[in-house]
Amino acid sequence: MKQLFLLLISFSIIACSSQKKETLTFAEKMLDLNVAKTKETLKGLSSNDSFPRNIPKSKKDWEFVKVRDWCSGFWPGVLWYAYEYSGDESLKTDAENFTLPIKTIAYSSARNHDIGFMVYCSYGNGYRLTGNEEYKNILLSAADTLATLYNPNVGSILSWPIKKDEYSHNTIIDNMMNLELLFWAAKNGGDKRLYDIAKSHADVTMKNIVRPDSAVYHLGEFNEETGAFIKGHTHQGYADESMWARGQAWGIYGFAIAYRETGKLEYLDTAIKLSDHFLNRLPKDGIPYWDFDDPKIPNAPKDASAAAIAACGMLEISNLVKDVKLKEKYINAAENFVKILSSKEYFSGDTNQALLLHSTGHHPKNSEIDVPIIYADYYYMEALMRLKKMETITSNIAQKSKN
């Protein structure tokens, strides 16, 4: 029944939209569908202190986690994007409601670097869209909390305090994404030291975790007193020297942001180098396997989330490079990812509550393999919003030149 309903919504949206506006762009069509689906999912949610995380193979509905899970911020983030696109006030209320419980994370002692994902995807988007001063204070506190994990001997944030027995001072590539919170805070009334911490962290990551083969380790292990690099590991990948798809995508996006915030050209060069390696090694259908070096390929699971994150990173790069050909290259690559993700192979349609199928969370732990995962939806929505904004700019320019 629910599926039939969703199908009807999809058809009616496409029908209404084509009346509303003669030519809906590709991004608008997908965003219309995604907003409708998100609103439908919201109807079945009774609590705002549990957050969708994944949908196991045999199920159709989201499985939930509590606020301390590293994925808690992505669902409110999806809601903020849905609100941003649609302007629907009910979605704003829902986004606010699901953002609220994450406040506790900003003030608790930092368990790991994931505080950046949790708080920036929820409160960061909320502040960007509403200018709510309370959100700003929460973001500033979260940045200070994240900075408590910084080790000046190494020059980087301790990403996983809980794994210190296994990996001494560890810094993971994912952590590059959470520097955005520090850069933002330094520009918005926070301690200027946060900028230096973020920059130093990016330098240490670039020097040690980005490998000469243009792939990245997942994790760099350092001596916490001397700062000496001990060893690179690829904890969530196939092998230490393999190329874990999502790690590579975090690197692409993270270094693009670091360049945007600092102007340090080596970060842009790194983002480009990681992107090109990612693009050159893609399989035929354009979406990466969970690890590019899994010997089971082509019978290995895909990771749609890595494609969605890489798309956002490449769109960021396209904003930053001056050369028109390079701009075009990364826009086309990103658009291609988003189009494939929106095709029947990867787009969930009425299969389940998620937007995207086929992500892989932690393969070595046999966890979340080839399933929908909330961060794939979050970055997919972000990529669509970025494309929509670019389409709007292009059509405005075209309109102006006609007039």
Any idea which residues carry the catalytic annotation? 114, 174
Token reading at 58: 């045999």
Residue 186 vs 376, nearer CB to ligand GLY: 376
Within residues 358-377, the interface with ligand GLY by CB under 6 A covers none
Q: Which residue has the tokens 């001072």?
A: 169
Residue 174 vs 180, nearer CB to ligand GLY: 174
Query: What angle separates helix 374-402 from helix 74-86, to the nearest 10 degrees?
Result: 20
Element spanning 135, H or E: helix 133-147
Q: DSSP 3-state assignment of 212? A: coil
Q: Pinpoint the alpha helices (H) of 288-373.
A: 304-320, 324-341
Residue 71 vs 140, nearer CB to ligand GLY: 71
In terms of residues, how long is the chain?
Answer: 403
Within residues 170-189, the interface with ligand GLY by CB under 6 A covers 174
Residue 38 vs 236, nearer CB to ligand GLY: 236
- Nearest CA among 99, 144, 146 for reference residue 122: 99
Residue 195 vs 244, nearer CB to ligand GLY: 244
In the set 103, 169, 246, 386, which binds ligand GLY (CB under 6 A)? 246
Within residues 145-174, the interface with ligand GLY by CB under 6 A covers 174
Residue 163 vs 264, nearer CB to ligand GLY: 163
Please tell me the count of residues contacting ligand GLY according to CB under 6 A: 3
Q: How far is the CB of 56 from ligand GLY (least distance, A)?
A: 17
Within residues 216-245, the interface with ligand GLY by CB under 6 A covers 236
Strand partners for 63: 54
Residue 270 vs 360, nearer CB to ligand GLY: 360
Q: How far is the CB of 143 from ligand GLY (least distance, A)?
A: 19
What φ, ψ does residue 64 adopt, rounded to 5°?
Answer: -110, 155
Q: How far is the CB of 373 from ligand GLY (least distance, A)?
A: 9
- Name 366's Cβ contacts closer than 8 Å, sequence gap at least 6: none
Distance CA 312, CA 273 (A): 16
Q: How far is the CB of 43 from ligand GLY (least distance, A)?
A: 29
Distance CA 28, CA 387 (A): 9
**295-334 footprint of ligand GLY as x/- string (CB under 6 A):** ----------------------------------------
Q: How far is the CB of 302 from ligand GLY (least distance, A)?
A: 15
Element spanning 264, H or E: none
> Can the peptide bond before residue 298 be classed as cis, meaning omega within 30 degrees of 0?
yes
Q: How far is the CB of 325 from ligand GLY (least distance, A)?
A: 31
From residue 125, give the alpha-carbon distance in Å to each of 92, 93, 100, 276, 357.
11, 14, 13, 29, 24
Q: How far is the CB of 246 from ligand GLY (least distance, A)?
A: 5
Distance CA 227, CA 236 (A): 24
Which sign, positive or negative, has the C-alpha torsion 42, 313, 235, 178?
negative
- Chain residues binding ligand GLY by CB under 6 A are 174, 236, 246
